[in-house]
Amino acid sequence: MYGFSRFYKYPLPLLLLSLWLVAVFLLSDQPAHSQHAAISNKEKYQSTFLAKTIMPSTLTENVRKTVLENGLTVLIKEVHTAPVVTVQVWYKVGSRNEEPGVNGIAHQLEHMMFKGTKNRPIQFGRLFSALGSDSNAFTSYDQTAYYGTVERNKLKALLVLEADRMQNSQIEPEQLANEKRVVISELQGYENSPEYRLNRAVMQAVFPNHAYGLPVGGTKADVEKFEVEQVQKYYRNFYSPDNAVLVIVGDFQTANTLETIKEVFGKLAKNSAESKASLNTQHSTLPTLSTQHGLNAPLTARAKPQLSANSTPIVLREPGVGRLLQAVYPLPDANQPDVPALDVMDYILTEGRNSRLYQVLVESGLASEVTASVTSLRESGWYEVLVTAGSKQDLKKIDSVLSSAIANVTEKGVTPEEVERAKTQLTADVILSNRDITSQAMRLGNDETTAGDYRYTDRYLAAVRLVKPTDVVAVINKYLTKEARIAGFFEPTQKRITGVGDKPDSAQTTDNFSPGVPVLPSEVAKYLPPVDLARDAIARVLPQELKLPNGMRILLLPDNSTPTVTLSGHIQAGTEFDPENKAGLAAFVADNLLNGTKSKDVLTIAKVLAERGVSLNFQTYREGVHIEGDSLAEDLPIILEILADVVKNSTFPVKELELHRQQTLTDLQLELDEPSEVARRIFVQSIYPKKHPLHTFPTEESLQQIQRQDVIDFKAKHYRPDTTVLALVGDFDLDIVRSLIKNEFGDWEVSGQAPTLKYPTVSMPEKIVSVNPVLSGKTQAVTYMGYTGINRYDPRFHAALVLNQILGGDTLSSRLGAEVRDRQGLSYGIYSSFQAGKNAGTFVIEMQTSPGDSTKAIASTRQILQQIHQQGVTALEVETAKRTLISNYNVSLANPEELTDRILMNEVYGLDKGELHSFTDKIQKVTLTQVNQAARELLHPDKIVVVTAGPSVLTEKSIR
């Protein structure tokens, strides 16, 4: 729910999707006439876009900036692609304003901002949920942000709520005590990760006298000591209009919205002189800041935090698995002129198969993964490289190769081709990340609060276009010296997993717990700001279907709101088809599709598509392989061509398969060091018996059993056009795209019948089944509770969605969230869901807790299940849940990726084409009687599997 922001890979202003950029341009293995036809269509398609603007002249040309008399900065941008709007409030305060002893207070205050105000003494998460707002918050180094996206008729309501908690939030002792437990649970979750602990140690060494060296979320020792007066003072000092930026993006009229903003926020008082003085002296170790901004500001324009460098690596020897190397190089702040060249450098070093560090570390087998990011903040920055060592590889050797590779770049330089490819990727990333209104507002808020100028991204992109090879070498020479960096090694001392037995214990819980009285929806309604109840008519445009003679189905929905295309696909080749002794085979196939075809090797594919800035990924899950692709509109022919080539002509080279096997084995070790993954595996295997398609998970033994011929045979058997569905949403011409698809996929042959599976019926457990796998050295526990559930075609499906929204659909507004998380403070996050697919899925409740709180949280959860099972829910709860589900659904359709996935899965499930819009009608028709019947039939608190993975303390506090 809550958390703090870290911007990996991409520059400061961007919250971008991670892109795996792979592509190809020509089908050289096709017959001459077929190849000619395909090229002709591509030329025709691309010529359509020659007159179009591929990217706006500026990304902020429609933004209007206003500063109210009380100092509130307002950024608004009209985007009329869908009847939705996002409202975000960014406060110019983060962990940068802290010091040892009060580390984490900004993050703690972020949590408290949901606890209610003097005017509305109610959990704000319930108010946001009642509005159907997709709301959340995060704390970062330079800012704390709160955001919500809703249907446009809720705009004023969101403004009223944000203005209320800007100055009227209540911070009470009991609430703080509970929320401190929640924050500590969150921090313990981070502590479970060796990467987090290593990064914390390295950052403290890099910034020994500056708050950038402190963990953003804080430390348990500091959080435990927070007093109400401290948090209240921090709130008074930093939460005021003159220290905030209000960002609104979406479907509204600027003039009217500005008047509403002035009406709602204009009456708020700015900080007092006393508070301002406290704000300015809050962090005594901060340097004096210059008022100069801009990418061309001289390096000496502002004082830098004191940095530290040490040639001797920091070594953490702790329980765990997997060796890690982290190297951090200090960099300048966001407004310095070297930042664009540094980002280009990062892409050349670590983005994709052709990148320099991937070649020397991963292709050689020394490492299973290498990632990196440039972080550019208000007062400083850093370049962070993280290497996950290959099995039995020495970190010192990896470190030596890493240093040599960087030195080699400075000696031999980089090619113009590498630089241009990196610049293309950066530009494509900006465009593709800017398609939904929430992301657009995030970029504006980030730019204004961190760089001091909402137009930062425009200037940044202009500077990126000017980067030359000599600039890249210059910044490497300047910043990536071995003397300037701090390196850290994580050396595991032992395997963590102990006490995981094959047979779970069965026991009946005897805890006596009485949940608090649920918050009545009438109470929520009393505090909701008024909204226009008249819903906006959603455009009922349906996708058009194309079905090829070979059985392949394609859904097409033109949308010219942005010059991009989103592709989503499904192939019926999921893990359910894994042989028991070769579990992991389905994923092996999908993960290696891009590693070579009959006409192109892996590096050719990676290089050509990286040059076009196209992403294409394959992800295996239970019932299929999910395809994800994004590109600029002009590059749609490329994404279709590479997809067709790999599903038809992949060759699975031996070298790439063996490299992937070693990476997968390393990944498996790391996964089995995570309580969430251990809990999930044992939970599923405790529900589904052996021989069931869901019981099997990859093991070291099963992965070693997989041979190249197994991969080839699985691909030939399960990758078929008649079990493949594609959905495309974006800026394209229907006739041209139909022609492209026929040319690329029309010759994909099919023979025989598609493989099918029949899932056996699984009975409920006779009593409570309790399993407690122990992972030594962990600080937080993760619990999975549940049993077998329903499929997508169950007549109770829509009623189950409403029931689940009431039970655990939201970690703040649901019964479980309100009681276990909010009132008792036992869990950082608790959710429930019915995972319904073509076959019967699983009903599951997930939560993370401090080890000592697990037993009470489990007992509380079971009692709430019992309460709803026996007593049902109320009519007001049902109506509130329905409004929330409908609003959230409408908001989701404004996001091109969610819209494309929804179109895809409706087709995969064989639902009517009108389901895209009739879904909300079906939710609206759900009755109280149907929900309570579903509660009686689908909730079984005394027949439930409970798996808690975590520290050894749990062995003493297991359910008995």
**55-59, 111-115, 837-841, 928-932: the lowest-pLDDT one:** 55-59
Contact 723, 754 (CB under 8 A): yes
Tell me the average pLDDT across 324-342: 97
- Give the C-alpha separation, 565 to 726, whole Å: 13
What is the pLDDT at residue 2?
33
Strand ranges in 731-826 using DSSP code E only, listed in sequence order: 769-771, 774-775, 781-788
pLDDT of 433 strictly over 80: yes
Give per-residue pLDDT as tens, 795-817.
Answer: 999 999 999 999 999 888 899 99
| 3-state SS, residue 530 | coil
> Per-residue pLDDT for 818 more than 60?
yes
Q: What is the largest CA-CA distance in the chain?
A: 80
The position carrying tokens 């009681």 is 819
Grade residue 430 by pLDDT with cuts at 50, 70 and 90.
Answer: confident
946 pLDDT more than 60: yes
pLDDT at 274: 55
- pLDDT tens readout for residues 24-38: 222 223 333 333 333
- C-alpha torsion 438→441→442→445, nearest 10: -160
pLDDT of residue 277: 52
DSSP 8-state class, residue 358: I
pLDDT of 271: 81
pLDDT beyond 60 at 475: yes
Selected residue with higher pLDDT from 272 and 570? 570
560-585 pLDDT per residue, tens: 888 999 999 999 999 999 998 999 99
756-774 pLDDT tens trace: 999 999 999 999 999 999 9
Q: What is the pLDDT of residue 519?
A: 60
Name the β-bridge partners of 727.
555, 568
Measure the CA–CA gap between 14 and 18, rounded to whole angstroms: 11
**Nearest-angstrom CA–CA distance, 464 and 335:** 13
Average pLDDT, the chain: 87
What pLDDT band is residue 531 in, cutting at 50, 70 and 90?
confident
Under the banding of pLDDT at 50, 70 and 90, the label for residue 494 is: low
Please give the order of strands across the beta sheet that includes 244-250. 63-67, 73-78, 244-250, 84-91, 144-151, 134-139
Mean pLDDT, range 111-118, rounded to an integer = 96
- In eight-state DSSP terms, residue 717 is H
Structure tokens at 175: 């609430």
- Give the relative orientation of helices 105-112 and 173-191 as an angle to the nearest 10 degrees: 120
* pLDDT reading at 282 higher than 90: no
**8 Å CB contact between 299 and 336:** yes
pLDDT given at position 177: 95
- The pLDDT score that the predictor gives to residue 306 is 55
Task: State the pLDDT at residue 532.
Answer: 73
Residue pLDDT, tens place only, 640-679: 999 999 999 999 999 999 999 999 999 999 999 999 999 9
Three-state DSSP class for 565? strand
Residue 667's identity, in one-letter code, is: D
* Model pLDDT, residue 320: 85
How much is the CA Rg of the chain, to the nearest whole Å?
27
pLDDT bin (cut points 50, 70, 90) of residue 515 is: low
**Which is more confidently placed, 291 or 461?**
461
pLDDT, residue 621, reads 96
Note the pLDDT of residue 4.
Answer: 31
**How many CB atoms sit inside 10 A of residue 545's CB?**
12
Each residue's pLDDT tens digit, 58-108: 678 899 999 999 999 999 999 998 999 999 999 999 999 999 999 999 999
Predicted pLDDT at 608: 82
DSSP string, 621-658: ETTEEEEEEEEEGGGHHHHHHHHHHHHHHB---HHHHH
Span 623-636, mean pLDDT? 95
- What residues are paired with 817 via a beta bridge? none
Token output for 676: 């969430």
Confidence of residue 7 (pLDDT cuts 50, 70, 90): very low
3-state secondary structure of 858: helix
Higher pLDDT, 246 or 46: 246
Q: What percent of the chain has pLDDT over 70?
A: 85
